Amino acid sequence: MASLTITIKPRVNHSRRILVEMDADKFERLAANLGFLNTEFLKSLEEAEKDYKAGRIKKIKSLKELRK
């Protein structure tokens, strides 16, 4: 895989946020490498949107809650 250079800037106020900058070509390459353009992934997004519109959602505060 080719290298992918991105810029990451932490916030000065010590919040838990960061700013990530990349151009559109790099973003498309990253999305493709992560499988975001995969047919199965796109189908799962459509199903998730249907669930959201139907109210079948649960709010979480952390990804750790998904392991339960």
Give the residue extent of every domain in the chain: 7-67
> Is the pLDDT assigned to residue 1 strictly greater than 60?
no
Split at pLDDT 50, 70, 90, the class of 33 is very high
Which residues lie across from 58 on neighbouring strands? none
| Mean pLDDT within 57-66 | 88
- Please tell me the predicted confidence (pLDDT) of residue 68: 66
4: which residues sit within 8 A by CB, 6+ positions away?
A: 22, 26, 29, 30, 33
Q: What is the mean pLDDT of the chain?
A: 85
Q: Do the beta carbons of residue 1 and residue 33 sit within 8 Å?
A: yes
Which residues lie across from 17 on neighbouring strands? none
Split at pLDDT 50, 70, 90, the class of 4 is low
28: which residues sit within 8 A by CB, 6+ positions away?
A: none
| Mean pLDDT within 1-18 | 70
